[in-house]
């Protein structure tokens, strides 16, 4: 059975919620449920939260070469902003939105 949502222990961000299969119908339902939950939590707390998806390539992704560049004498790993259509799965993060204080 495929995993539609899992929490990976190797993520270092406090904002990380979990990893989801964003292309499947069940994964889309999980994302919608998490967004609804954080919206309700924001109403109760009086805060504004943002749930964001960050694409991850996964292993042996044919699009990986598009996200790598060569510079100088070594290869720089630039796999930071992966388009969701190229990603094998996506990480879910939540941030509190704050108004600018200037």
Contact 95, 41 (CB under 8 A): no
User: What does the pLDDT look like over 59-89, one tens digit per residue?
Assistant: 888 888 777 765 555 555 555 688 899 898 9
Contact 55, 67 (CB under 8 A): no
**Residue where the block lists tokens 């510079």:** 71
Q: What is the pLDDT of residues 7-54, one digit of tens each?
A: 677 777 888 888 999 999 999 999 999 999 999 999 998 899 999 999
Two tokens, residue 44: 């109760």
């Amino acid at each position: 059975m495929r995993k539609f949502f899992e929490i990976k222990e190797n993520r270092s961000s406090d904002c990380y919620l979990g990893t989801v299969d964003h292309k499947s119908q069940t994964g889309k339902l999980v994302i919608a449920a998490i967004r609804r939950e954080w919206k309700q939590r924001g109403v109760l707390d009086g805060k504004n939260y943002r749930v964001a998806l960050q694409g991850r390539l996964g292993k042996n992704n044919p699009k990986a070469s598009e996200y790598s560049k060569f510079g100088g004498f070594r290869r720089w790993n630039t796999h930071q902003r992966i388009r969701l259509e190229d990603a094998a799965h996506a990480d879910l993060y939540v941030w509190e939105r704050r108004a600018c204080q200037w």
